[in-house]
A = this chain, B = another copy of it.
Amino acid sequence: MRDVVIIGTGQTKFGEKWEKSLKALMAEAGVKAVKNSKIKGEEIDALYTGCMASGRLVGQEHIGALVADQVGLNPIPSTRVEAACASGGTALRTAYLSIKSGEHDLVVAGGGEKMGDVPTERVNYALGGAGDQETEIFNGATFAALYALMARKHMEKYGTTEKQLAEVSVKNHENGAKNPYAQYQREISVESVMNSPEIASPLKLFDCSPITDGAASVVLTTKEKAEEKGKDYIEIKASAQASDTLNLANRKSITEIKATQQASRKAYEQSGIKPEQVDFAEVHDCFTIAEILAMEDLGFYEKGEAAKAVEQGKTKLEGELPINPSGGLKAKGHPVGATGIAQAIEAYKQLTGKAKERQIENPKTALTHNIGGTGATAVVHMFQKPSKEE
């Protein structure tokens, strides 16, 4: 079996990019990743791109062809992969499998979304495509409303407080303030979260990730090829994906995301790495409660213990297990198709010691966790610094 690695990354600044189209954003990230990897375009065998809702957001499907065309890489195969907000994670996994298959040696996995070109209610409706149209969205549920149900139940069951949720947001803004690619590069206070407008009780505006334009790309190849090139790389030790019911109503429990549990268990098994060996994680904090759920479902903390850990500062940059050093979806921004790839970029930067102001001290092992909808898809990747560098 071939070992797959990441040898380079590129991303746009995340935010409101009025001046750039979806394809321009994707091309910018892709070209940066190729330059950063010190490869030539001709070496690329295939492209995989995660994108959730371009049809409804910018009137364009056929995103694989769009990307290959825009970066001048015809006639190589170029394919779009979609799994709602986990589109980026599944694009990464598909690219990874295509290298494992022996069919491709060097592949770009990218993702992007242009969300700001349509009114907010249309963005909400497009994002609703991640949930169940028939039982949830048709009946008026927004994604904030669905996560609010999960939050309320978690509060009831485990005593999680709104202030603890706010602490997630405060910590992620602290990290985002140190990330030049983040949409919000400023710190906020618990008070500002608590006093922000209610979106779907108990979730307030600052409990929610923003509407974001942006794109991200990583270059994958074999360990062998990376060694040849002498380029810094990180190893992909596991790539796992799991599914669950599309709607919340059909789940036995809404205070856990089973797909996260299953994908991470598989990833731990594949990699032989235990949760306690993970040095930091990028998790899917589309809402503050989602980060709490992820911390528990990934096996980092017992059920009901994650919120306390956040409050105690254990997941800060200098804590025992930094979570979302990039600023997470909350502060870095959440251009849905790009998110799973942007998480891998943070893993690359931290593990290769290139995270500057937000650098964690000598991390060796990283986990990324990307969710679609309310957890109907979960994708978990594990990355490691090559041991020769130790």
Residues of A within 8 A of B (CB): 1, 21, 52-56, 58-66, 68-69, 73-84, 90, 93-94, 97-98, 100-103, 125-126, 128-134, 137-138, 240-246, 250, 258-259, 262, 372-373, 376-377
Contact = CB atoms under 8 A, between A and B. Distances in A.
Nearest to A68: B243
A88 to B, nearest CB: 12
A322 to B, nearest CB: 28
Contact of A243 (B60, B74, B83, B376): B74
A70 to B, nearest CB: 8
A63 to B, nearest CB: 7
**Protomer copies:** 2
A260 to B, nearest CB: 10
Contacts of A129: 54-55, 59-62
Given A66-B376, A81-B94, A101-B101, 13 more contacts: A1-B102, A52-B61, A55-B126, A59-B125, A59-B137, A62-B84, A62-B246, A69-B243, A77-B242, A79-B82, A80-B82, A82-B82, A98-B101
Given A55-B53, A82-B82, A100-B103, A76 B243 contact: yes
Nearest to A103: B97
A115 to B, nearest CB: 13
B75 A133 contact: no
Q: Among the interface residues A62, A244, A376, which one has the most CB atoms of the partner chain B within 10 A? A: A62
5 contacts: A52-B61, A59-B125, A65-B246, A66-B376, A79-B83
Contacts of A376: 62, 65-66, 69
A66 B126 contact: no
A82 B337 CA distance: 13
A53 B100 CA distance: 30
A82 B128 CA distance: 19
A127 B212 CA distance: 26
Contacts of A93: 77, 79
A67 to B, nearest CB: 9
A79 B101 contact: no
A54 B97 CA distance: 26
Contacts of A52: 61
Given A65-B376, A74-B243, A75-B243, A133 B59 contact: yes
A225 B372 CA distance: 32
B262 A75 contact: yes
B90 A97 contact: no
A373 B138 CA distance: 30
B78 A64 contact: no
Contacts of A54: 129
B81 A83 contact: no
Nearest to A76: B243
A62 B379 CA distance: 14
A372 B372 CA distance: 26
B243 A78 contact: yes
Nearest to A72: B245
A100 B60 CA distance: 31
A3 to B, nearest CB: 13
Contacts of A65: 83-84, 243-244, 246, 372-373, 376-377
